[in-house]
Chains A and B, each alone.
Chain A
Amino acid sequence: MVPEVGASPSSMAQPRGVKRRAAWVRDSYRRQNALFLAPYLLGTLVLVVVPALMTLAVSFTDYQGIQAPTWVGLDNFRRLTETPLVRFSLYNTLIFVVAAVPLRLLGSLGLALLLDGRRGGGLARAAAFLPTVLPETAYALVWLWILNPVSGPLNLMLGALGLPAPAWMAEAGTARLAIVLMALMQVGEGFVVLLVARQMVPAGVYEAAEVDGANRWQGFWHITLPLIMPWILLLLSRDLIVSVQNTFTPSFVLAYGGPYYSTTFLPLLIFELSFDFMDWGLASAVLVIVYAWILLLIWGARNLIEGLRRREVSDAR
């Protein structure tokens, strides 16, 4: 128990000791607090920051994992542009991002608007969330069956509707499309974030707009969308990199990057370069490009969201 300052004459007589005791209690609270943060900060340092710095350093060296790294300057970055596998995988990744990210964002927004009911819709929300949290390997295996060109349910359904039945994972173009399709059903995270963002818009704002004669579409376009824009931008930045990472398991399990390397995206490339070819220098150079991309996204998200906030403040005035 902390003695209450000024509670009794004896504590009045020893103001110094009481102060010291209060300070000690305060400091021990701070020490405990620091202790609580320690595992997170230390773990992040050891498992994220240090490996990232090592990558940065090794990208300028030749390192096969056996002998000590030797300095080669920008040689790895020159090799990046000359290695067909690297170029092709960057091209695949770009195609994936351009096709999947906008569609995923639209899907999240659509689900958030449609499944946002203060009453009911709870089970539909759980169902829409489920494909995102299923174990990746199990989900990929299920698609191995769905995408089977001859007996898979997707092609049987397309056939019944009189539509063409593609070869999916057996052909380069449709293999990429299949990976995009799988990613489109896993928008649970974005959908939950936008659902929460949407519910944070006070109901009074809509009532006021309704009084002014705004319809539903105007309500969405002029009220909801601007208010949840910072969340959309944060999601966009996250999806531009995280959806790429998430291609690893599907492309690994369904076709191991094939056919003809068409589903070799960045994660599989980095895996191959580091753990199959043991070319840690080249792998690090690829990762440095990824770091530049991440920094650009962080910087872009920060500026866009700050800009929106500033505009909101000036609008309010």
Chain B
Amino acid sequence: MRGRVATVLVHLARLGIALLSLLPLYWAVIISLRQSGQPPTTTLEWWPQSFHWDTYAEVFRTVPMARYARNSLFVVSLALPLTLLTASLAGFALTQLTTAWRQRLVTASVALLLVPGLAVWTFRFHILNLLGLVDTLWALIVPGLAGGSPLFVLLFYWAYWRVPHELYESARLDGADAWTVWRLVALPLARPTTIAAALLAFVLYWGDFTTPVLYIYSTKMYTLPIGLQLLRQMDETNLPLLMAAAVMMALPIVVFVVLVQVLFLRDRSLANMVDIE
């Protein structure tokens, strides 16, 4: 009996956490369905009072959001595959090194996890400037060449490290080169990790506000996050319009998370994708 009560309590707590986590976004959806420019009420609303879908179209008429969306898509469509390729190859190569070098590079990568981006903001500007990349979308794409973040490289490394090494060895003895071993043996066995890394890389590039703030100046190069900030600067009080823009920007991420959960994991969790078992 006591056990059953505890189980019910755990389920209620889980439900509470889920609802609390979704609440901010839900509130944003409610207000986004009001008419653009309409001031909010001073009573708490739990259900949309009206369905002004036109507010969503208004976003595109207020600022050149379509251009910003195109820029964002351009960045993501190049940076995401680049990141997966470089991080996956680097993670695989780490498993093939001699023990001494492997330990050195893995330790350095873990240490790099503790170095925040802001540590190199200032002079990355000078490097990008030297390379002629400041104020171009390439400034946002170029981190993809370096695996995006040491986190991605480590995720792939941990996944490939768990694969029994005899599999790599026997492929090598059959005459496979490193590219073939990676493509035919390693990569298919680490599919959950690749999906997890794809999700995290998408989040990284799609929502990136800092990099364009630092390195992009021309309005025609703006990406969606900057567009949202621009919209806020134009009229901070037009909450329906602002929330419509925020919801549109969040939507691909929500879809991605739900898809990954439903299609690939079912009973397993996001955590299992990056499992270090």
Task: Tally A-B pairs: CB < 8 A.
Answer: 284
How far, in Å, is A156 (CB) from chain B's closest CB? Answer: 4
Find chain A residues with CB under 8 A from B249 CB: 135, 137-138
What is the CA–CA distance of A75 and B245 in the complex, to the nearest angstrom?
46
How far, in Å, is A7 (CB) from chain B's closest CB? Answer: 12
| A199 adjacent to chain B (CB < 8 Å) | yes
What is the CA–CA distance of A25 and B175 in the complex, to the nearest angstrom?
8
Chain B interface, DSSP helix/strand/loop, else mixed = helix
A241: contacting residue among B97, B116, B145, B150, CB under 8 A: B116
Task: Given the known inter-chain contacts A122-B261, A122-B265, A271-B214, please indicate yes or no for A136 contacting B225, CB distance below 8 A.
Answer: yes
Find chain B residues with CB under 8 A from A199 CB: 271, 275, 277
Establish whether residues B118 and A270, one from each chain, have CB atoms under 8 Å apart when the complex forms. yes
How far, in Å, is A46 (CB) from chain B's closest CB? Answer: 6
| A313 adjacent to chain B (CB < 8 Å) | no
Establish whether residues B17 and A127, one from each chain, have CB atoms under 8 Å apart when the complex forms. yes
Establish whether residues A138 and B182, one from each chain, have CB atoms under 8 Å apart when the complex forms. no
Establish whether residues B207 and A138, one from each chain, have CB atoms under 8 Å apart when the complex forms. yes
For chain A, the count of residues having a C-beta within 8 Å of the partner chain is 93
Establish whether residues A145 and B243, one from each chain, have CB atoms under 8 Å apart when the complex forms. yes
How far, in Å, is A192 (CB) from chain B's closest CB? Answer: 5
Closest A residue to B248 by beta carbon equals A138
What is the CA–CA distance of A29 and B40 in the complex, to the nearest angstrom?
65
Task: Given the known inter-chain contacts A127-B22, A150-B42, A157-B44, please indicate yes or no for A294 contacting B119, CB distance below 8 A.
Answer: yes
A267: contacting residue among B118, B145, B182, CB under 8 A: B118
| B184 adjacent to chain A (CB < 8 Å) | no
Within 8 A of A (CB), among B83-138: 86-87, 89-90, 92-94, 96-97, 105, 111-127
| B197 adjacent to chain A (CB < 8 Å) | no
- Among B39, B90, B92, B122, the one with the most A-chain Cβ atoms within 10 Å of its Cβ is B122
Q: What 10 additional pairs, Cβ within 8 angstroms, besides A125-B269, A142-B28, A153-B44? A: A51-B124, A55-B120, A55-B122, A122-B268, A128-B21, A135-B209, A137-B209, A145-B27, A249-B210, A253-B209
List 27 interface pairs A-B (beta carbons < 8 Å), by A numbering: A37-B93, A41-B90, A43-B143, A44-B112, A46-B127, A47-B124, A48-B120, A52-B120, A55-B119, A122-B267, A122-B268, A128-B17, A130-B22, A130-B257, A138-B246, A139-B246, A139-B250, A142-B27, A145-B242, A148-B40, A148-B239, A156-B42, A192-B274, A196-B276, A199-B275, A249-B210, A290-B118
The chain B residues found within 8 Å of chain A, CB to CB, are 10, 13-15, 17-19, 21-22, 24-25, 27-28, 31, 39-45, 86-87, 89-90, 92-94, 96-97, 105, 111-127, 142-143, 145-147, 150, 153, 172-173, 175, 177-179, 182, 199-200, 203, 206-207, 209-210, 213-214, 224-225, 228-229, 232, 236, 239, 242-243, 245-247, 249-250, 253-254, 257-258, 261, 265-271, 274-277
